[in-house]
Amino acid sequence: MICPEGHPAITDRVELPVDDVQILISPAARVVDQLKRQRILDGQYYLSLLDKNGKELCASKEHYDWDAVVKLSAFFRDKAIEQALAWWAKRNL
């Protein structure tokens, strides 16, 4: 496209981000003895859903191994917040 003055046209439009839920996988591991650096729950993860601004909407009560948490997170891909929260509530994560 060419503008009325003969230059290539530049459009000025706002592209808003989608309102899909964000998925956060965080480690459940904890240090229980700082002197010995003893850890628990290595290889375990929590799943959280965030809004587009990064505010936590919900977090799993249970921890999962990597394969399980990735499998769970796949259910939320491309889901609007309302849809994701409804799915979460049905499964009582």
For residue 35, the enclosing domain spans: 22-91
Is residue 84 in some structural domain? yes
Q: Degrees (nearest 5) of the Cα angle 47, 62, 39? A: 90
Tell how strand 56-59 and strand 44-50 pair up: antiparallel
Is residue 37 in some structural domain? yes
Tens of pLDDT, residues 24-36: 999 999 999 999 9
What number is the average pLDDT over the span 54-67? 97
Is residue 8 in some structural domain? no
Is residue 82 in some structural domain? yes
Distance CA 4, CA 82 (A): 45
Is residue 17 in some structural domain? no
Instruction: Output the pTM of the full model.
Output: 0.78
Residue 1: per-residue pLDDT? 67
Tens of pLDDT, residues 40-52: 999 999 999 999 9
Residue 25: per-residue pLDDT? 98
